[in-house]
Amino acid sequence: MGDASPTPKPAPAGPAVARDERVKDISRLRKMMIRPELGAITGTILVFVYFFLVARDTGMFGPEGIMNWSTVSAQFMILAVGACLLMIAGEFDLSIGSMIGFSGIVIALLSVSLGWPVWAAIIAAFVLSLLIGAANGYLVIKTGLPSFIVTLASLYILRGLTIFIAISTTRKTIIGGVKEAAAGDWLAPVFGGKILGGLFTWLADIGVVAKFTAGTRAGQPVIDGVPMLMVWAIGLVIFGHILLTRTQFGNWIFAAGGDAQAARYVGVPVARVKILMFVFTAFTATVFATCQVMEFGSAAADRGLLKEFEAIISVVIGGALLTGGYGSVIGAALGALIFGVVQQGLFFAGVESSLFRVFLGVILLLAVVLNTYIRRLITGER
């Protein structure tokens, strides 16, 4: 008989592993509470419910109404993406509004007054704006001054310079004729054109979209396409979200705004990150300005007034902290959507338009209070 193998005995149970008290379990509810988009999502739902109840019979949620407030929201959205990334990096840019007026005047002046091709004027406006954005970032980094002060100075310098250039060259602050100059240009439609025209023609044929009943456009759809302004807004939101959440550079943005000194210790190029964010903010302002010039066919030296504050408010509504290091591009986009819906919703509801500013103040205060509470949840402060 062969020797039977001994029956293995179960190994003695080891000592119970003590739970590390430094590791905190985060409940699902708390995870939801610290999402930067929470306030914007809640606000968006409330705004849509309110205006659906008070303005649903006014055409606000018909095809034309939707296109109306979507276009306005897209304007805020383009600026909010740049402002959001810069604020997460821990900085502000108050020169956004002046950059809009400056870029528009450069395009109109070069194309209409000096006879440049519109595509060359657009490229020149972008180059100048990006250089100014880089200069803002460089001054902030090298001087150590708060970006609030540096860009506040830029706001006044750019606005004054824009008005001076317009008056000294054309004797006026509004330069028209851009649409005529842009006829046949290859780059102008990228900012001032429309897409999906065939879709809206079909929708008009089946009765979903109304048609003009008189005038030179009789029989044509009232909505003849999606403006490139909206395409730029959606594209920038997607780009900003992917950059922030799916790339190493996005981690650097959070690190630069959260604790710049600690970020430097682990190899994050904080100076380069912040300067590039100033450049990107200038880029979004110039995109907005170019779309606006192509739409109206003119440029005005005073355009963009207060746009810097509207962009910052959109970002704050979207959940970004004023101290940097925390925020969301999606949240900023929802903040911009709230702006557009409320601004146009008050018109559709027949409410005095001046109350829009009252709404901005109230919602900004509520957003800051909510964001402060979220920061305390994250950091454990009391």
> What confidence score (pLDDT) does residue 380 get?
61
Q: Which residues contact 7 (CB under 8 A, 6 or more apart)?
A: none
> What confidence score (pLDDT) does residue 321 get?
84
Note the pLDDT tens digit of each residue in 256-271: 999 999 999 999 999 9
pLDDT value at 25 more than 70: no
Which pLDDT band holds residue 219 (cuts at 50, 70, 90)? confident
Which pLDDT band holds residue 359 (cuts at 50, 70, 90)? confident
What phi, psi does 315 have (nearest 5°)? -70, -40
Segment 100-118 mean pLDDT: 96
**Domain-wise residue ranges, the chain:** 37-379
Which pLDDT band holds residue 1 (cuts at 50, 70, 90)? very low
Which pLDDT band holds residue 20 (cuts at 50, 70, 90)? very low
What's the burial of 103, exposed, middle or buried (CB within 10 Å: 0-12/13-18/19+)?
Answer: buried
Q: Which of 7-11, 235-239, 287-291 has the lowest mean pLDDT?
A: 7-11
CA distance 297 to 331: 32
Report the candidate in 82, 78, 102 with the shortest Cα–Cα distance to residue 93.
82
Q: Check residues 193 and 37 and name the one with the higher pLDDT.
A: 193
Which pLDDT band holds residue 362 (cuts at 50, 70, 90)? confident
> What confidence score (pLDDT) does residue 369 get?
79
Segment 294-301 mean pLDDT: 94
pLDDT value at 375 more than 70: no
Report the candidate in 285, 286, 290, 233 with the shortest Cα–Cα distance to residue 118.
290
Report the candidate in 300, 291, 304, 296 with the shortest Cα–Cα distance to residue 188.
291
> What confidence score (pLDDT) does residue 6 get?
52
Which pLDDT band holds residue 29 (cuts at 50, 70, 90)? low
- Report the percent of the chain where pLDDT is more than 90: 61
Q: Are 240 and 84 in contact (CB under 8 A)?
A: yes
Which pLDDT band holds residue 12 (cuts at 50, 70, 90)? low
Segment 170-195 mean pLDDT: 94
CATH, range 37-379: 1.10.3470
- Report the percent of the chain where pLDDT is more than 70: 88
Q: Which of 164-168, 189-193, 237-241, 349-353 has the lowest mean pLDDT?
A: 349-353
Q: Which amino acid is at 91?
A: E
pLDDT value at 240 more than 80: yes
